[in-house]
Amino acid sequence: MLSPERLALPDYEYLAQRHVLTYMEDAVCQLLENREDISQYGIARFFTEYFNSVCQGTHILFREFSFIQATPHNRVSFLRAFWRCFRTVGKNGDLLTMKEYHCLLQLLCPDFPLELTQKAARIVLMDDAMDCLMSFSDFLFAFQIQFYYSEFLDSVATIYQDLLSGKNPNTVIVPTSSGQHRQRPALGEAGMLEGVEASLFCQCLENLCDRHKYSCPPPALVKEVLSNVQRLTFYGFLMALSKHHGINQALGALPDKGDLMHDPAMDEELERLLAQVPGLVNSVTASPETSCLPSRTPPRVGSPWRPLHHSRKVDGESDGSTEETDESET
């Protein structure tokens, strides 16, 4: 039975909304790159496995950054994969630096840009030094906002800077194109300490949400965040977005913070896989403190082995306090 959404849209609009052409083009490219191997078991089976992986969200594993950010579904799938793969960091209570979190991201996407990781870390650390330690949950929810709404936040940063400098806030902001990440404007000390008037900022963001062609948080929830304060800073706004329960639910990639460390389906699958490896369970049991975290001086991360339908090649490659963040915030 077709959904109401599907019935309300013409075919071409529905296909565009779901980015079907993006996946068809990617599937055909991989088919041509691996046609000799695929010919052994058939084209029909290849397309079946490819679109099954898209539905399951595993199609983004070990892919190039331009692909994982190409569609909203890809971004949600990458966020969910990062959480499921590395939630043991949070369960163990480990605190990591920005560079260490970047190493984890590169394990899933070898060419993941450092700039995006730095922006996510600044949401958590604000005016602290970038080498401070962060908890997994703090970083994950900040990273979710920064990664999924990246183009929107670049436009928000420009509006914020214009308000600080007294420029016309109604100037049309042209979003960056997908695949490019504009350098975020530097925020002066006065702006960091005093911020901007929340009501005026809210009006500007309402206009931005109306015309923004990329994903943005639900305008009603943005207005709710801004209605609770008279003035706010840029990173204070981003922190409020990252901690907002409604925005997390609307995005649908991650569970609530209270359930972040629980994933029974993944635990069961891991136990099943570990049981198939002779000697591995005993060695893990004997050394519970052993972890898969990257070293403090991480080596360059290469591209891991990929399944057949993930085989596209990857092209090349403040000062403040040192206070640690922890899991105690609710």
Asked if residue 115 has pLDDT above 50, the reply is yes
Token pair in block for residue 153: 């936040």
Asked if residue 39 has pLDDT above 50, the reply is yes
Out of 51-55, 229-233, 310-314, 322-326, least confident range: 310-314
Q: Do the Cβ atoms of 108 and 311 come closer than 8 Å?
A: no
Out of 139-153, 188-202, 218-232, least confident range: 188-202
Q: Which pLDDT does position 56 carry in this prediction?
A: 95
Q: Which pLDDT does position 228 carry in this prediction?
A: 87
Q: Which pLDDT does position 108 carry in this prediction?
A: 97
Let me know if 313 is exposed, middle or buried by CB neighbors in 10 A (0-12, 13-18, 19+): exposed
Q: How large a percentage of the chain has pLDDT more than 90?
A: 53
Is pLDDT larger for residue 58 or for residue 266? 58
Q: Please compute the mean of the pLDDT values over residues 101-120 and round it to a whole number.
A: 97
Q: What is the pTM of this model?
A: 0.75
- The 3-class SS string of the chain reads CCCHHHHHCCHHHHHHHCCHHHHHHHHHHHHHHCHHHHCCCCHHHHHHHHHHHHHHCCCCCCCCHHHHCCCHHHHHHHHHHHHHHHHHHHHCCCEECHHHHHHHHHHHCCCCCHHHHHHHHHHHHCCCCCCCCEEHHHHHHHHHHHHHCHHHHHHHHHHHHHHHHCCCCCCCCCCCCCCCCCCCCCCCHHHHHHCEEHHHHHHHHHHHHHHCCCCCCCHHHHHHHHCCCCEECHHHHHHHHHHCHHHHHHHCCCCCHHHCCCCHHHHHHHHHHHHCCCCHHHHHHHCCCCCCCCCCCCCCCCCCCCCHHHCCCCCCCCCCCCCCCCCCCC
Is the C-alpha dihedral spanning 194, 204, 72, 243 positive or negative? positive
Q: Report CA-CA distances (Å) from 148 to 170, 214, 238, 242, 317.
A: 25, 10, 13, 11, 22
Q: Which pLDDT does position 6 carry in this prediction?
A: 52
**Nearest C-alpha neighbor of 251 from the set 96, 104, 146:** 146
Residue that the structure tokens 């068809």 belong to: 24
The tens digit of pLDDT for each residue in 2-26 reads 455 555 667 767 777 789 999 999 9
Asked if residue 176 has pLDDT above 70, the reply is no
Helices 136-148 and 114-125, packing angle to 10 deg: 120
The tens digit of pLDDT for each residue in 125-168 reads 986 778 899 999 999 999 999 999 999 999 999 999 999 988 86
- Buried b / exposed e across 266-292, counting CB within 10 Å, b at 16+? eeeeeeeeeeeeeeeeeeeeeeeeeee
Average pLDDT over the chain reads 79
